[in-house]
Copies of this chain bind each other. A is one copy, B any other.
Amino acid sequence: MKKILNDPFAYVDETLEGLCLVYPEYYERTGTGGRVIKRPGPAKKGKVGIVSGGGSGHLPVFTGYVGQGLVDACAIGEVFASPSVEQMVEAMKATDGGAGILRLYGNYGGDTMNFDMAGEMMEMEDVPTTTVKVTDDIASRPKTEIEKRRGVAGIVYAYKIAGAAAWAGKDLAEVTRIAQKAVDAVRSIGVALTPCTVPQAGRPTFTIADDEMEIGMGIHGEPGSRRGKLLPADEIAKEMLDALQADRPVGKGDRVSVLVNSLGGTPMEELFILYRKVKEYFDTLGATIVMPLVGRFACSMEMQGASFTVLKLDAELEELLKAPADCAFWKVG
């Protein structure tokens, strides 16, 4: 394991400590064990709160997207592990402005069980809450089981759009509808070249040969759809774009936003090389790319690889996508 860290069991807490020291204007630590990150100051009165949560090791996801026009609070688990119910409840309480709370998170077993529980607890205290789970990874399940798909980088779009709706003062039902609409419009697929190492485990999450890649692999190393020889960038891009296109076709005149995301270890140079092909692909389809995002948005620490996320827009989604937002890792407007 080649990582710059101290005690592996302090990895998450020290990360959060550093994060808040660098950006006190964006992030405030609270909750049991300091495992809730919220926007500084009190919850905004009358605004629907948006709460997320999940395992660590994915920065900027999930914690990094706490900010104006984005997420209000986030509960943080160990690397690749769910936060506890208690921490989720604390995140919701920290962001309760009296207008209800949307739980918006990636579809993973532990997170779901805990967030459901946490939601019931809030309801016992008469705080209305709703749930929208992000299920964008097309490689995780066939289209017939779409609601069981796991969530990957597409959550960034869900945060942005739901966040803008809540910031604009829409009510809980409306924010929930819009968040679900964003989830329905978003699809992702990834390719992994190398594994990463969970600090407490001390060994790579999976093994893969020096000349191999795995298309469709999940951000925790969950099996993908195809393992094979490492292909040239343009061929990798085409294979992933074809898969996305088969799952949810984009056609002439459509407007989409595209996120070309590094899993962490893959450098910006390679993302730009991939983006050429993405642009060409949508040009050929006659579709327009709006606000392309290229960079590290949802990572798996040092894992090499990349993912593509396509968000199909309509007027409502596009307006919300372009609305101002501000966190340490992403500024819009």
Binding site for B on A (CB under 8 A): 2-6, 11, 14-19, 21-22, 56-57, 59-60, 64, 191, 193-194, 210, 230, 232-234, 236, 264-276, 279, 292, 294, 296, 299, 301-302, 304, 306, 331
Contact = CB atoms under 8 A, between A and B. Distances in A.
A59 B269 contact: yes
Given A14-B276, A265-B302, A233 B22 contact: no
A156 to B, nearest CB: 15
Contact of A302 (B21, B56, B267): B267
B4 A233 contact: yes
A296 B59 CA distance: 13
Contacts of A11: 269, 273
Nearest to A199: B269
Contacts of A306: 4
Given A21-B275, A275-B21, A269 B15 contact: yes
A301 B56 contact: no
A54 to B, nearest CB: 14
User: Which of A4, A16, A64 has the most chain B CB atoms closer than 10 A to its own CB?
Assistant: A4
A274 to B, nearest CB: 6
Given A2-B193, A15-B269, A57-B267, 10 more contacts: A2-B194, A4-B273, A6-B234, A6-B273, A14-B233, A18-B273, A18-B294, A60-B268, A64-B268, A267-B301
Nearest to A299: B267
A301 B267 CA distance: 5
A3 to B, nearest CB: 6
Given A22-B275, A60-B268, A6 B233 contact: yes
Contact of A272 (B15, B264, B272, B296): B15
A272 B194 CA distance: 23
A21 B274 CA distance: 11
B18 A272 contact: yes
Nearest to A193: B2
Contacts of A233: 4-6, 14
A64 B271 CA distance: 14
Contacts of A14: 233, 272-273, 276
Contacts of A17: 272, 276
Contacts of A194: 2
A267 B264 contact: yes
A289 to B, nearest CB: 9
A19 B279 CA distance: 11
Contact of A22 (B4, B64, B294): B294
Contacts of A6: 232-234, 273
Contacts of A294: 18, 22
A73 to B, nearest CB: 19
A235 to B, nearest CB: 9
A272 B269 CA distance: 24
A153 to B, nearest CB: 15
**Sorted from nearest, which 7 A-B pairs have the closest CB atoms?**
A18-B272, A18-B275, A4-B270, A59-B268, A267-B301, A15-B269, A14-B273
A18 B265 contact: no
28 contacts: A2-B194, A2-B210, A2-B230, A4-B233, A4-B236, A4-B274, A4-B306, A5-B233, A6-B232, A11-B273, A14-B272, A14-B273, A15-B269, A15-B272, A17-B272, A18-B275, A19-B272, A21-B292, A22-B292, A57-B269, A59-B267, A64-B268, A265-B265, A265-B302, A267-B301, A268-B296, A296-B296, A302-B304
